[in-house]
C-alpha cells in the first residue's frame, strides 16, 4: 500500500482570483491540496498572498464540478460523451452559419482562462467561422480604461510595475476598493504610506479601508469624477504648475485641450461634485508638491455612462503634470480578473486581432490572412452588450460562451435571460453548471487553472506561466483542447500539442509579445510586454517615447456626461462591488468551504442616517426595486456608507444578485454597463 500512496508534489502556479498575478507553489498529495506556499522569487507578490490565493482552491475538488458534457433534452439535461456533444455543436454551428451567415454567431472568451485559450477562441471565431463577433468580460469592467489610455498614451496597460507604486510621492485611488479587490497591491501602498511618507488621496463613495488610511478622503457626488479631475487639472495649468518641458517634448494637442477645460472652474466643480473649492485646491497642491504621482482606478470610474472619458481625464492629468515614463508615476488601471489584461492582449474584442491590431487595417488583415490561410472579415464585430441586443432583435442566433457567468454578471439580467431563451443554439463551457449554463443547449466541462498549463498576463502587463498541478477532473478538458476539438470538427486543421505551440504562433503575430517564449518564462521567470524579439521586456512604459508614429502622446479633450436619470421614487443610490473573501460573483469561492462559511451571504450596507430615518436595524430584510427588477436582502448598518447611498456586494449567485437591479445603459464609447449609475427604492419586509 505504501507503493500506491501518492507522493507529495510541489508545483508553481499563478493565482486566478485577481489581476495582481501572485504566483506561488502549491503542495499536493494526490488530489489533496496540502498548502499554498509563497516564494520570494515571485515577481508580483514575493512572499505575500491574500486569503483567496491561500485558501480559495478547494473548488477544484468540489462535487459540483462538471465531469461530462451535457445535452439539453426539453427542460432538462442528460450526460453525453464528447463525441456526441462535439458532433452536435459542429452540426448546429454549420447549419446556423449557412442559414444566417457568420455574423449571426457570437463568441465570448474568458478572462479567467489562459492567454493561449483566448487566442484560440478568437481564432475560432475569425478563421473558422468568419466573424469578429468576439468579446470578453473586460467589457464589463476595464475596457473604458483601455480606451482612455489608447487615446492618450497608446498602450492600454499599467504604466509601470506594481512595485514601482511604492516609489510614488503621491498615490491617488479613484473608485477602487483596493484593500479588498487587489489585496497584495494595496499592501504595497499601505507600507509605503506608513514607512516612507507616501501621501494618499482616496476618492470614493464608501469609506473603505484605504479611504480610512488616506491623508485626504474625498466623497464626490456619484458619477462626478470627471468634473473634479478636470477642475484640478485646470487649476494646475492656471497656476503655472504644468510640466511645460514634458508637454513640449512629449505631448501633442495642449492648446486645444487647455481650451476644452474652460468650463471646469472651481465654482462649477464645487456645484457638481459637492467638494469644496479648498479641497480641490488641496488636491492640486498635493499633486504639484509630490515627487511622482500614480493614479490607481477601477470600476468606480469605468462603470458609468462616461467611463472612458473619466479614464481619459485621469491620463490627461498625468500628462499635464509630467507623470509618465518615470518610476513611481503614471496610470494604473487595476485589472479585476487574473487575465483581463491577457484576454484583451489576445484579441478577444470585436475590433482587434491579437496585439491590439485593428481588424479594419488592411496591412494587419493581410498579415493574419496569410498566417491563417483564409480570407478574414474586416468588418468590426459586435461586443457582448450588442450580442444581447442582437438576440432580442433576431440577428444573433447562436452563442459560444467560455468561462463567463454572463447570466449573473451582465447588467439587467432579466433582459439577458430573456435573450438566452431566444437563442437557436447556445454552447456554454465552464467548470460548474453556472446560471448561464441553465439556458444552454450543450454544456462542455472545462478544467480550471490547476489542471492545465498556459500563461496569464497580470495588471502590470506581466506574463507568467502556470504549471499543471492535477489531471483534469472526470472527463473535463482544458479549454484550449476543447476549442481545438470544436474547430477541427468544423473543418479546421489545427494541431497544437501544447499551449507553448499556441504562444509561438501568437508571438509571431503580435509585436508586443514578439519575444515571448515558454523558455523565457520558465519557473518564476516572467516578462512584461512589450517584449522585443531578443527577449528584452518593458517594466516601465514610455521611456523611449509613446507608441504613436511621432513618439508623442496626445491630449484628448473630454466633457462630462451626467449620470442616468431616474424617476424620483428611486430615491437611493445603489453602489456595488467586491468583498475581500469572494471572487467576483462568488461562483468559485462559494464552493470553497473555508471561505463560504466565513462569509456565507450577501448583505446591503446602509448608512446610520438612513437606518434612523427608516427604522432599519442590522438584519432587517428589505426589498430593493429598480425599474429593471428587484432583490431581497438583509441590511447591515455601517458608517462606511453615507446618507442615501447604499452598497450591495456583487457576490450573490441567486436572487440577491445585484444585476437584477442594474440597467442596460452603458458607457457611450465602449458599451461597458453603467453598473454604478443605479438608483433604487426600498421597502421593509416582514421576516419569514
Ligand atoms: Fe490572488 Fe489577488 Fe490575492 Fe494575489 S492579491 S493572492 S492574485 S487574489
The CATH number linked to 170 is: 3.40.228.10
Interacting residues of 327 by C-beta distance below 8 A, sequence separation 6+: 160, 164, 167, 292, 540
**Residues 270, 148 share a domain:** yes
Taking alpha carbons only, the member of 300, 139, 225 closest to residue 666 is 139
Residues 93 and 229 grouped into a single domain = no
- Whether 620 and 663 share a structural domain: yes
pLDDT in tens, 425-474: 999 999 999 989 999 999 999 999 999 999 999 989 999 999 999 999 99
pLDDT higher for 136 or 63? 63
For 362, counting Cβ atoms within 10 Å of its Cβ (0-12 exposed, 13-18 middle, 19+ buried), the class is exposed
Query: pLDDT exceeding 70 applies to what percent of the chain?
Result: 94
Q: What is the pLDDT of residues 17-73, one digit of tens each?
A: 888 899 999 999 999 999 999 999 999 898 888 888 888 898 999 999 999 999 999
552 occurs within a structural domain: no
Burial class (CB in 10 A: 0-12, 13-18, 19+), 245: exposed
Q: Is 52 inside any structural domain? A: yes
Of ligand 1's listed atoms, the one at least distance from the Cα of 338 is: 7
Domain of residue 604, CATH code: 2.40.40.20
183 pocket-lining for ligand 1 (C-beta < 6 Å): yes
Rounded mean pLDDT of 386-403?
96
Nearest to 308 by CA among 175, 145, 141, 459: 145
Residues 284 and 311 in one domain: yes
- CA dist 400 and 125 (Å) reads 10
Distance (Å, whole) CA 3 – CA 6: 8
Cα separation, 328 vs 163, whole angstroms: 9
Q: Which of 36, 273, 296, 350 is nearest to 162 (CA)?
A: 296
pLDDT above 50: residue 351: yes
Q: Given the DSSP bridges, would you call strands 105-108 and 398-402 parallel, antiparallel or unpaired?
A: parallel
**Residue 18 domain-assigned (yes or no):** yes
> Looking at residue 281, what is its pLDDT?
98
Number of separate domains in the chain: 4
Over 80: is that where the pLDDT of 593 sits?
no
Q: Which of 63-72, 191-200, 397-406 has the highest mean pLDDT?
A: 63-72
User: Both 306 and 171 in a single domain?
Assistant: yes
For the cut 70, the answer to whether the pLDDT of residue 588 exceeds it is: no
**Average pLDDT estimate for 141-160:** 89
Per-residue pLDDT at 655: 67
The answer to whether position 604 is within a domain reads yes
Q: Is the pLDDT of residue 1 over 50?
A: no
Q: In CATH, what number is assigned to the domain containing residue 476?
A: 3.40.50.740
Residues 303 and 388 occupy one common structural domain:
no
CB of 52 closer than 6 angstroms to any ligand 1 atom: yes
Task: Give mean pLDDT, residues 78-82.
Answer: 98
Task: Clarify whether residues 55 and 81 are in a common domain.
Answer: no
State the Cα–Cα distance between residues 565 and 16, nearest whole angstrom. Answer: 37
Give bridge partners of residue 635 from the DSSP assignment. 604
pLDDT band for position 582 (cuts 50, 70, 90): very low
Q: Do 229 and 152 belong together in one domain?
A: yes
Alpha carbon nearest to ligand 1 atom 6, residue: 53
Residue 22 Cβ < 6 Å to ligand 1? yes
* Atom of ligand 1 minimally distant from the CA of 20: 7
Contact 443/429 with Cβ under 8 angstroms?
yes
- Looking up cell 490547476 gives 450
Of the residues 499, 515, 547, the one at which a domain ends: 499
In a mutational test of the pocket of ligand 1, which residue from 182, 185, 187, 584 has the highest number of ligand atoms less than 8 Å from its CB? 182
C-alpha cell at 303: 462603470
- Quote the ligand 1 centre to 460 CA distance (angstroms): 14
C-alpha cell at 10: 510541489
Q: Is 317 in the pocket of ligand 1 (CB under 6 A)?
A: no
pLDDT above 70 (res 688): no
- Mean pLDDT (the chain) is 91
Q: Is the CB of 665 under 6 A from ligand 1?
A: no
- Name the residue with cell 488636491: 283
Percentage of the chain surpassing pLDDT 90? Answer: 73
In a domain, 101, yes or no: yes
- Which grid cell sits at 291? 515627487
Q: Is the pLDDT of residue 654 over 90?
A: no
Looking up cell 506608513 gives: 194
Same domain, 313 and 365: no
DSSP string for residues in 260-277: HTTT--HHHHHHHH---H
Residue 546 lies in a domain: no
Assigned domain for 541 exists: no
Q: How far is the CA of 21 from the centre of ligand 1 (A)?
A: 6
Q: In sequence order, what are the residues at sequence separation of 6 or more whose Cβ sits closer than 8 angstroms to the Cβ of residue 537?
A: 515, 527, 528, 529, 530, 531
Q: In whole angstroms, what is the distance from residue 563 CA to residue 306 CA? A: 8
Q: Last residue of a domain, which of 446, 465, 499?
A: 499
Q: What is the pTM of this model?
A: 0.89
Whether ipTM exceeds 0.90: yes
Query: Distance between CA 578 and CA 431 in Å, rounded?
Result: 22
Domain that holds residue 269: 143-333
Helix (H, G, I), strand (E, B) or coil at 417: helix
Residue 455 within any structural domain of the chain: yes
Residue 19 DSSP label? T
Show which of 333, 360, 384 is a domain's final residue.
333
User: How does DSSP classify residue 142?
Assistant: T
> Could you tell me if the CB of 53 is within 6 A of ligand 1?
yes
Amino acid at each position: 500500500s505504501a507503493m500506491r500512496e501518492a507522493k507529495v508534489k510541489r508545483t508553481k502556479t499563478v493565482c486566478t482570483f485577481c489581476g495582481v498575478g501572485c504566483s506561488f507553489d502549491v503542495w499536493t498529495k494526490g488530489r489533496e491540496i496540502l498548502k499554498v506556499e509563497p516564494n520570494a522569487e515571485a515577481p508580483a507578490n514575493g512572499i505575500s498572498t491574500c486569503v483567496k490565493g491561500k485558501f480559495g482552491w478547494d473548488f477544484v475538488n468540489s462535487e459540483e464540478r462538471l465531469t461530462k458534457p451535457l445535452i439539453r433534452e426539453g427542460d432538462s439535461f442528460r450526460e453525453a460523451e464528447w463525441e456526441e456533444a462535439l458532433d452536435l455543436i459542429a452540426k448546429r454551428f454549420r447549419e446556423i452559419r449557412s442559414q444566417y451567415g457568420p455574423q449571426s454567431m457570437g463568441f465570448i472568451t474568458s478572462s479567467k482562462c489562459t492567454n493561449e485559450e483566448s487566442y484560440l477562441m478568437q481564432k475560432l471565431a475569425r478563421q473558422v467561422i468568419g466573424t469578429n463577433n468576439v468579446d470578453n468580460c473586460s467589457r464589463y469592467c476595464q475596457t473604458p480604461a483601455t480606451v482612455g489610455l489608447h487615446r492618450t498614451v497608446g498602450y492600454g496597460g499599467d504604466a509601470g510595475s506594481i512595485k514601482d507604486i511604492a516609489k510614488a510621492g503621491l498615490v491617488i485611488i479613484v473608485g477602487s476598493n483596493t484593500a479588498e479587490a487587489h489585496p497584495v497591491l494595496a499592501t504595497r501602498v499601505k507600507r509605503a504610506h506608513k514607512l516612507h511618507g507616501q501621501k494618499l488621496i482616496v476618492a470614493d463613495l464608501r469609506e473603505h479601508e484605504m479611504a480610512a488610511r488616506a491623508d485626504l478622503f474625498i466623497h464626490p457626488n456619484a458619477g462626478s469624477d470627471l468634473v473634479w479631475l478636470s477642475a484640478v487639472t485646470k487649476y494646475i495649468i492656471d497656476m503655472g504648475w504644468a510640466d511645460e518641458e514634458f508637454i513640449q517634448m512629449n505631448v501633442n494637442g495642449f492648446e486645444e485641450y487647455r481650451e476644452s477645460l474652460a468650463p471646469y472652474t472651481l465654482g462649477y466643480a464645487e456645484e457638481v461634485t459637492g467638494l469644496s473649492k479648498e479641497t480641490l485646491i488641496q488636491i492640486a497642491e498635493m499633486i504639484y508638491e509630490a515627487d511622482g504621482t500614480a493614479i490607481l482606478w477601477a470600476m468606480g470610474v469605468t462603470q458609468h455612462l462616461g467611463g472612458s472619458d473619466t479614464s481619459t481625464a485621469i491620463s490627461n492629468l498625468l500628462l499635464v503634470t509630467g507623470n509618465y515614463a518615470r518610476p513611481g508615476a503614471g496610470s494604473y488601471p487595476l485589472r479585476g480578473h487574473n487575465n483581463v489584461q491577457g484576454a484583451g492582449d489576445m484579441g478577444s474584442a470585436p475590433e482587434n486581432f491579437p496585439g491590439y491590431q485593428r481588424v479594419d487595417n488592411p496591412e494587419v488583415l493581410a498579415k493574419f490572412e496569410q498566417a491563417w490561410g483564409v480570407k478574414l472579415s474586416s468588418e468590426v464585430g459586435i461586443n457582448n452588450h450588442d450580442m444581447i441586443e442582437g438576440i432580442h432583435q433576431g440577428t444573433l442566433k447562436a452563442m459560444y460562451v467560455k468561462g463567463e457567468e454572463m447570466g449573473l454578471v451582465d447588467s439587467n439580467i432579466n433582459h439577458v435571460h430573456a435573450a438566452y431563451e431566444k437563442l437557436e443554439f447556445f454552447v456554454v463551457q465552464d467548470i460548474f453548471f453556472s446560471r448561464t449554463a441553465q439556458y444552454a443547449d450543450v454544456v462542455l466541462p472545462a478544467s480550471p487553472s490547476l489542471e492545465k498549463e498556459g500563461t496569464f498576463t497580470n495588471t502590470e502587463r506581466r506574463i507568467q506561466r502556470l504549471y499543471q498541478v492535477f489531471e483534469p477532473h472526470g472527463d473535463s478538458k482544458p479549454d484550449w483542447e476543447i476549442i481545438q476539438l470544436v474547430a477541427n470538427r468544423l473543418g479546421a486543421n489545427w494541431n497544437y500539442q501544447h499551449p507553448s505551440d499556441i504562444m509561438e504562433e501568437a508571438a509571431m503575430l503580435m509585436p508586443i509579445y514578439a519575444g515571448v517564449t515558454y523558455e523565457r518564462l520558465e519557473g518564476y521567470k516572467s516578462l512584461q510586454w512589450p517584449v522585443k524579439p531578443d527577449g528584452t521586456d518593458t517594466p516601465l512604459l514610455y521611456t523611449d517615447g509613446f507608441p504613436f508614429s511621432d513618439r508623442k502622446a496626445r491630449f484628448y479633450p473630454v466633457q462630462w456626461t451626467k449620470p442616468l436619470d431616474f424617476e424620483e421614487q428611486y430615491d437611493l443610490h445603489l453602489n456595488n462591488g467586491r468583498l475581500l473573501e469572494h471572487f467576483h460573483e462568488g461562483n468559485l469561492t462559494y464552493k470553497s468551504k473555508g471561505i463560504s462559511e466565513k462569509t456565507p451571504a450577501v448583505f446591503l450596507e446602509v448608512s446610520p442616517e438612513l437606518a434612523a430615518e427608516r427604522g432599519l436595524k442590522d438584519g432587517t430584510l428589505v426589498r430593493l426595486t429598480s425599474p429593471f427588477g428587484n432583490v431581497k436582502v438583509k441590511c447591515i448598518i455601517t458608517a462606511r456608507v453615507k446618507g442615501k447611498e447604499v452598497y450591495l456586494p456583487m457576490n450573490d449567485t441567486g436572487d440577491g444578485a445585484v444585476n437584477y437591479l442594474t440597467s442596460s445603459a452603458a458607457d457611450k464609447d465602449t458599451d461597458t454597463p453603467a453598473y454604478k449609475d443605479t438608483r433604487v427604492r426600498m421597502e421593509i419586509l416582514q421576516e419569514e
